[in-house]
Structure 1
């Protein structure tokens, strides 16, 4: 062993002073970065932190830990997840080495770093990993922290449980709120997040109250950015419950976020940008002259460059010329031309060609090192993804463009990316991604900055043609912020007038029409007159159908709202509908003209109400169905099948479709004897069956090459005459929520009849709408308007079967139940639209395999047990679970074998602003949850399949002015599914799993009426089950050792809770969690359950409330 002592290095005074200076700078910059992050300015904070990162690496201090923790936070917000993980891991390492100085502080820092890694996993939608890391963070915080530290980790853990739909989230939130010593800011954030969990459970009024408390707390604490987020949450939660409160919250959030983002760093965007571009150009020239830089170009390109250089030198031999510089200049110019060409292809809707061109441009500029040009490429790519229905892809590439443009200080590029992000956000599910209002505030600040850079008097209109103002209008109008919305819309119109060369006539007309409708919506008819006169003058010289549509319908809607319910107004509506249908088969255009499809329903519905008022009952019904058809056709996103084609199968299909329409039209009256009339009717029926069978065969043959044909045919509007021929003795009741009343239109063999169910000023109707957002269905079933709606159906069902077609918010009602009794009505079939009748008996029910799959997002705690039960009962192969549940698997399984039933336990997404971007959440190629839009789902071969969508919300239709047809039910039934079982309201996860399990225990046939009977029996069983019954059933699965045991444990826990046995409830909740980790409870625990359940309190009915069972229904025509 050596006697040599460790060497001690003595630092000089200068070195010690430098350490002090560095550490002081580290502290100052960390504080500055924290201040920027608190204000939501993450990109700037990251730049500040990057400047002191080398210093932070030299110290094992809390400040160094804070630098890497904040760098991780900034990287996560910027979607740089690998970088974020690395930064949080560095923070965790510093915390681990800090243990020698202060174990308690070190443990607290480890907890924070673990939570950071969890937040990255959460951002990547890896919920199981996020739960694991948050669990570690909570345990560390319990040991080493208290007050804010522990509360913050508990609320983060509760958030991931909320995302996983785990009911433990509420208990964790309440634990965090109950801690002593928690600061006002942290308590406010917890309350804000807790409100989302309450809303998930259907307790909307309670959620709004908690969110209001959060807003007040955060305001008193001066936490502006957190208060902004709480205000937006409040505005969203209160939209249906209390619209005035929602508007007030939105207006406050609008003012606050614009104030937060008002400051723009001029030096960063002016001198800083110039310096960075100069440096990039110098590096580009160095790269192009470096012999080690691999050549990107084809040899023919090099030959062309050499030829051009030789010609230049021959013409001007005295001027020196660099071949490398010339090569750079030519490549750069080719890339710029390619970008220009790609933009033109994009404007022509040639999206595939445009993307291919952009990829070449991107590759060229990346090779040259032209980083300052890349945001332009990504911005156009983002617009392509948005236009082709891939908003998540659009968001990713546009955010990349924004981050890079901001890093460079390219104000114009960053502004363009923000505009693209705003457009993409209207396609995303409400509540996903950063809030559009914050994007708007950031864009507004840059817009004003760029305008001032041009001229102190400039309004910036030359930069965007008023697009930002138009987007602000749409956002403000969504929350009924009238003053803000009108100001933005009028400003966008004024910009059109000032810069006519920048903005086309179609944009001007579209904005004027929107202003006219806006004024009419708020009953400002005197102000609307001048706008109307201007539009009528413009219309005299117009030929474009999309603009004629806009003007005709805008004027008609004004007259309609003004009370001019005349034939002339109806004629205007008819002209507008005809113009719209002339436009609809092709692309509607980009930007504002693309919103035509989204607003189409309003004029169809107004026309239907007017036709009903004037006594045109048949036209009213058909206009209502046309509104639904247009919404669905837009959602499908494909071109309408053409009658002119060289393809033999498509040509035959077109001819037979026309023949089918002729055969379905009313037969001419003849004076033939009754027996001859009967013979003719029989022959007509035989011909109808022959044509229908051949069409079905053709659709199958065209399924791979042209899947849109069948979907479009079944989605086309239906007529009263066609409905009558399809009813076959049944009746159809279609409800219509009009502006003045709810109407019921009943079609039967006796013709069409109408009646008013409730007027718009009926206080019971207001009460019904208020109750629809609450979890408890009991008060809904007792509401007088609901009773009258049910009575209409009862009356129509007296002589046989009845088909019921709800409308708008009525889709959220259990109209399949009997009036005055919480039980299913016999022979009652729900339809999303009358056109689904075309699928009735289109083919006999064929036997086929069952496909069972679930939990692709990893956040449905009981879906796996439900799927295991379903697969076992149906004799199916092992259920497909987790990341294996992909669109490719589903499409292949439906294509490769006869399928009789598909059970999918997964989430549905419903985009109220862009219904065509609704769909199912399945796993993508990387195993992560991703949206499969309606257009893709409708292209699959669902013919003859019974589809069961069991997860919460899968059948819910967003009730936004007639777009309810964007629901999955309409798309799948239109694509040939025999029946669809789904829920139209939120249903608790455990109740759903148990209901589906008992449904399959009862199901013994896939025949339509028997499927409905099995569902009704399962609903009655769940409603009437006692806690004792539940324990007896669960004990049967005690030893399966798979996902069914996990479900059984949770059912036992629910039974004990209903019986008031808290100790057993806690025990079996713990057993449930152990089962998820592969630790099944012992047989001894199971054996004692029967004795416990014999106690009197186990006669309680845990699932008796209608919210647990009444929302599931069967849709289809049979």
Structure 2
């Protein structure tokens, strides 16, 4: 072997491990070939491989065709066949699958031994790309048999197994897929091709996503991304596969961002095959985001491209997403029904199990609406048979179908039982997620089930119980600590330092903001890797239990059903239902009220009349129709009502009002074992002139209280002090992060104390008072799942919490806080103490901004 040929062969081996070095070696080999056809052909082949590795497909095709011309011209049949194998893969990636299979079949007779095994693998990869997973698995098995007969090759075997794992995962053979990936990782390590292990981790992520283990999927994808970056190789479909995992737990904004970036990237690189999948993911994201127009456009583009590429499976998926988008747009026609049935058949042929079940559900619903109950029954029965196993999404759909089928037969009780079974499936799925963020978003999967349950419920108690199943179920689970908790703590400490540097202006802010973004991503990703350990206790208190705990108080639980508000009122042993007005009207009045209260608080204009009028109008919408008497109130809001400063409403003046994410959480807080701890912790953050004086006064009121001010008010010190105490009071600047509520924070001496920090508490304080701006605000997601400082503490087990739902001036809350604690010290419950303090400061423009959460 000449030096030029040796360099070219080495370049081909390195193409997917170190593409930059491979390219340099191949260029050197080509320059040194000097008429040696084999060396020149292999050098061009290696340059083509390097192009594939970094996603330069047009350049890769040019190089591979050059290699073919040289090899064919020189009669190098084996070299030409090997190049045709790679060209077949590139043709597949650019949408020419029929041509790809022709090239591969043309090469097949020319090869034997390991090269023949590699070619069979490449053909199986094409079959995988066009969703013929069964045929692909057989092709990979043939490749391994040929390789074994030739004496084996650990690198080729690792590559075959890596690729076969995708087909096995799509076929539901989880054990076989993981076995292949373990063998592949060992093979790549043993042969010194560590860079290729990125593909192993990417395929682990895909398999975990398909089987519904999202923490494992996200951890695998993050590891794959790191390995691709270290190796300098193209991540291929990694962004799209990760977007699918994010979408499965309803992280819509991130999934959309990833899908849009992938579409732009694949368009730029002329990667037609991956572009189809990117458009399909973008269509899925648009559907979840309530944007059917975008979904129709992207699904149609993907479907047309997949059809041109002769990829019927992906075309069927495009048809399914178009069907969903038309359904969401309100279309209900016989033609749509016929199209839907064809889509179901195509999805079933392609092996898209979840999509096929969902399409059947759409067809069944259409059939019911169009007066074809026999067809609906046929489709619903098929879903029930097919959906008893597999991922949670499949099983939940099956129970939904069973409920609809029972309704066809007039069995409302049986339908209710099926819906409850479907909700339990989602409960177990959500419990398997350790991160509070993932749990909150995943609750969206239960929305259709709980919505139908509410529509079927007739008696007030049944409506109440269905409302409870759909309210903040994720908060009943304590967040799980992620693996590598020490690393999470280190990232949080580094993030605090960046915040301090930004505030002090000691470094280039652009550099600091980039570092902040990287650290926030690291914290968020690490937290998402946590796995839950147990299902939530979703047992709702019985009516006698709830009545006994409420005593003289009245509980009002709101729900939004088809755009109209309903209230469920529990008082004594009586439970009743009251229909209210449009949710949109309440939201409009809420915006007016928050605007007026903010201007009043900061002295920006005379809007007291607007605030008073709007408060009365909201009271007329939400409370006056309920005939509540004058006892204490426990309110479970819904949607935008979580942002309402309830004490400003006339019906709430002077009476104890407690807010809770759900009645079950309120009952848990109200009946929890009393704390034996008697410690008090008072904290003053920086930049608030009144904070030190406020906590000094509180320290005098609570002899023995631990006080942290100035440099001593550091995050880790304060967290250690707060763990398990009876009462914690923090007077600090608050910041609510709308872009990521888990980075909402309280500013302490060494930086922000975030929700991620609070979730590291072993035992939360029993009572908490946060006197900073927006400290009680939470982001509201489907199922009234809440993410923010207040909701995090309630989830951890804090019994009651007093905080603000509006921005306030720095020193405006001090008078209220001191009065509140004076009443607390006499033994009054927190909600009663707050109500008395607010009644004493009726003229204060900020007093009503404070609300009491939890048991009160």
TM-score using structure 2 length: 0.56
Structure 1 residue 977 corresponds to structure 2 residue 788: no
What's the counterpart of residue 802 of structure 1?
633
Q: CA separation in 2, counterparts of 1:470 and 1:516?
A: 25
Report what 1:484 is aligned to. Answer: 295
Query: Do residues 837 (structure 1) and 655 (structure 2) align?
Result: no
State the 1:265 CA deviation. 5.3
**1:604 equivalenced with 2:450 (yes/no):** yes
Alignment counterpart, residue 1003 of structure 1, candidates 809, 815, 821: 821
Output the CA distance in 2 between the equivalents of 1:543 and 1:391.
22
The offset of 1:801, in angstroms, is 2.2
Which deviates more from structure 2 when the two are superposed, residues 745-754 or residues 530-539? 530-539
Match of 1:549 among 383, 388, 396: 396
Q: 2:195 aligns with which of 364, 371, 376?
A: 371
Deviation of 1:621 after TM superposition, in Å, equals: 0.8
Taking structure 1 as reference, are residues 930 and 1115 closer, same or farther at Cα in structure 2, changes over 3 Å only? closer
CA deviations over 1:990-1019 (Å, ceiling 9, x no partner): 44x642685157523467745446645776
Between the aligned partners of 2:153 and 2:731, the Cα distance in structure 1 is 56
Distance in 2 between the 1:790 and 1:630 partners?
24
| Structure 2 counterpart SS, 1:441 | helix
Partner of 1:295: none
Larger radius of gyration: 1
* Equivalent residue, structure 1, for 2:284: 473
Once the two structures are superposed, the pairs formed by residues 1024-1043 of structure 1 within 5 Å of their partners are 1024=843
Match of 1:788 among 611, 614, 620: 620
Matches within 5 A, 1:498-897: 498=346, 503-513=351-361, 525-526=369-370, 532=376, 535-539=379-383, 541-542=385-386, 544=388, 546=392, 547=394, 549-553=396-400, 568=411, 571-582=414-425, 584-585=427-428, 597-611=443-457, 614=458, 616-628=459-471, 630-633=473-476, 636=479, 712-713=536-537, 716-739=539-562, 741-759=564-582, 764-765=585-586, 767-768=588-589, 771=592, 776=597, 779=610, 782-783=613-614, 785-789=617-621, 791-792=623-624, 795-798=627-630, 800-819=631-650, 824-835=653-664, 836-840=666-670, 842-844=672-674, 846=676, 848-851=678-681, 862=687, 866=691, 869-870=694-695, 873-874=698-699, 875-879=705-709, 884-885=714-715, 892-893=720-721
- Which residues in structure 2 correspond to 1:858-1007 (within 5 Å)? 862=687, 866=691, 869-870=694-695, 873-874=698-699, 875-879=705-709, 884-885=714-715, 892-893=720-721, 898-901=725-728, 903=730, 905=732, 907=735, 932=756, 936=759, 940-942=762-764, 945-965=766-786, 969-970=790-791, 972-984=793-805, 986-988=806-808, 990-991=809-810, 994-995=812-813, 999-1000=817-818, 1003-1004=821-822, 1005=824
Deviation per residue, 1:664-689 (Å, 9 max, x gap): xxxxxxxxxxxxxxxxxxxxxxxxxx
Instruction: Kindly indicate whether the alpha-carbon contact (under 8 Å) linking 1:980 and 1:1114 is maintained by their aligned counterparts in 2.
Output: yes
**Deviation at residue 827 of structure 1 after TM alignment:** 2.2
> How many correspondences in the alignment?
609
The DSSP-based 3-state class of the residue aligned with 1:803 is: strand
Quote the Cα distance in structure 1 between the aligned partners of 2:251 and 2:693: 30
What secondary structure sits across from 1:940 in the alignment? coil
Match of 2:95 in 1: none
CA contact (8 A) 1:539 1:551 kept: yes
Alignment of 1:182-581 (within 5 A): 266-268=57-59, 270=61, 330=154, 361=185, 365=189, 368-377=192-201, 380=204, 397=223, 400=226, 408=233, 410=234, 413-421=235-243, 423-424=245-246, 435-436=257-258, 438-442=260-264, 445=267, 449-451=271-273, 469-482=280-293, 484-485=295-296, 488=299, 490-492=318-320, 498=346, 503-513=351-361, 525-526=369-370, 532=376, 535-539=379-383, 541-542=385-386, 544=388, 546=392, 547=394, 549-553=396-400, 568=411, 571-581=414-424
What are the superposed Cα offsets for residues 315-340 of structure 1, whole Å, 9 maximum, x if unpaired?
xxxxxxxxxxx999547856986998
2:332 corresponds in structure 1 to none
- Name the CA distance, whole Å, in 2 between partners of 1:347 and 1:589: 23
SS of residue in 2 equivalent to 1:754: strand
Counterparts in 2 of 1:881 and 1:343: CA distance versus 1, 3 Å: farther
Mapping of residues 1074-1113 of structure 1, within 5 Å: 1104=845, 1108-1113=846-851
Deviation string 1:1058-1111 (CA, Å, 9 cap, x unpaired) is: xxxxxxxxxxxxxxxxxxxxxxxxxxxxxxxxxxxxxxxxxxxxxx3xxx5533
- 1:588 and 1:594 in contact (8 A); partners too: no
Asked if the contact 2:556/2:634 (under 8 Å) is kept, the reply is yes
3-state secondary structure, aligned to 2:848: coil
Residue pair 1:736, 1:806 contacting (<8 A) in 2 also: yes
Q: Distance in 2 between matches of 1:740 and 1:399?
A: 42
Deviation string for 1:367-424 (max 9, x for gaps)? 925435535535746997995659997886565467678x54x4xx422334314644
Q: Is the 8 A contact 1:398 1:421 kept in 2?
A: no
In 2, Cα distance between equivalents of 1:774 and 1:903: 26
**1:1113 Cα deviation after fit:** 0.6
Q: How many angstroms apart in 2 are the aligned matches of 1:893 and 1:345?
A: 48
Deviation of 1:341 after TM superposition, in Å, equals 8.2
Superposition deviation, residue 829 in structure 1: 2.0
SS of 2:576's partner is strand
Tell me, in whole angstroms, the C-alpha distance in 1 between the residues paired with 2:466 and 2:835.
34
Give, in angstroms, the shift of residue 911 of structure 1.
8.1
- CA distance in 2 between counterparts of 1:382 and 1:1021 reads 60
Question: Deviations 1:171-198 (Å, cap 9, x if unpaired)?
Answer: xxxxxxxxxxxxxxxxxxxxxxxxxxxx
Query: Aligned partners of 2:428 and 2:400: how far apart in 1?
Result: 19
Pick closer, same or farther for the CA change 1:484–1:910 going to 2, 3 Å: same
Distance 1:418 1:890 in 2: 41
Aligned residues of 2:202 and 2:220 also touching (Cα < 8 A): no
Deviations 1:399-458 (A, max 9, x none): 5467678x54x4xx4223343146447869776799345324236638972439xxxxxx
Q: CA deviation at 1:979?
A: 0.8
The whole-number CA distance in structure 1 between the counterparts of 2:697 and 2:411 is: 63
State how far apart, in whole Å, the 2-side matches of 1:344 and 1:996 are: 63
Name the SS of the counterpart of 1:584 in structure 2: helix
Alignment of 1:119-198 (within 5 A): none
Aligned residue for 1:89? Answer: none
1:923 CA displacement = 11
Contact 2:243/2:256, CA 8 A, preserved across alignment: no
TM-score, scaled relative to structure 1:
0.44
The superposition leaves residues 455-476 of structure 1 with CA deviations (integer Å, 9 ceiling, x where unpaired) of xxxx95xxx6xx8514422235
CA–CA separation in structure 2 for the residues paired with 1:774 and 1:1007:
36
Partner of 1:210: none
CA contact (8 A) 2:201 2:221 kept: no
Q: Measured at CA, do residues 330 and 932 of structure 1 come closer, stay the same or move farther in structure 2, by a change above 3 Å?
A: same
* 1:999–1:1014 Cα contact (<8 Å) kept: no
Give deviations 1:1013-1051, integer Å, cap 9, x for gaps.
6645776788846xxxxxxxxxxxxxxxxxxxxxxxxxx
CA distance in 1, matches of 2:735, 2:283: 31
